[in-house]
Chain A
């Protein structure tokens, strides 16, 4: 399968613990995006990278959240000291820079986080 891959698909953690999600984009795509989706809502933008550079961050990305894309390929999203309000689906998407302006993002299946 050559689509966007996310791991783990599901994560249950206790409040206060740290969690990390990984995203492997479509191989020829150099833009990678993180979105968050809560129940009954549409996805909300968190941040995006072009190659290894983080070009934009949403105000939703508090200082407990950090995203990296060290070699311009896969990306990680870490949430420190998780809170119950962090429970959500974390979606990764990628796009081709020549098509990025068209909004054609390809999404992964998401990583669902439950904070107890």
Chain B
């Protein structure tokens, strides 16, 4: 099935560092979402974006909905150990009949620097 292009695929963080990741698509979306998944668990919603150009924060997390509606980025400031996990972007059109079809990226895996 269709998936979004998410980068980087993986990154190592040191506590206190800022982290950036992004997601691009060849198609336009009306909604962008960012989820985090810990091992053995389902994805948990972090931030939802509904308007092109929108910038939204949730604590140390900030995400933006690209003005072309084909991309989004997520920043994590002052990372802490519990930030490790896999971050997924997801796009949705919510137009016409499709109300359930979230399209996910392949994820960015955040690990702690050894």
A binding-site residues for B, Cβ under 8 Å: 4, 31, 33, 35, 40-45, 47-48, 50, 55-56, 58-60, 91, 93, 100-110
Kindly list 13 other residue pairs between chains A and B, CB separation below 8 angstroms, not including A41-B106, A55-B97, A59-B1.
Answer: A42-B107, A43-B102, A44-B3, A45-B100, A56-B100, A58-B101, A101-B31, A101-B99, A103-B33, A103-B102, A109-B40, A109-B41, A109-B42
- What's the dominant secondary structure at chain A's contact region? mixed
Number of interface residues of B (CB under 8 A): 29
Task: Give chain B's interface residues, CB within 8 Å of chain A.
Answer: 1, 3-4, 6, 31, 33, 40-45, 48, 50, 88, 90, 92, 94, 97-107
Cβ A48 vs Cβ B107 within 8 A:
no
Q: How far is the CA of A95 from the CA of B98 in the complex (A)?
A: 15
Q: How far is the CA of A103 from the CA of B40 in the complex (A)?
A: 22
A48, B100: Cβ atoms closer than 8 Å: yes
Given the contacts A44-B1, A103-B90, A103-B92, A55 and B42 also touching, CB distance less than 8 Å: no
Residue from A31, A59, A102, A103 having most chain B Cβ neighbours under 10 A = A103
Q: Given A56-B98, A56-B100, answer yes or no on A41-B3 (Cβ-Cβ < 8 Å).
A: yes
Question: Once the chains bind, are B94 and A107 in contact (CB under 8 Å)?
Answer: no
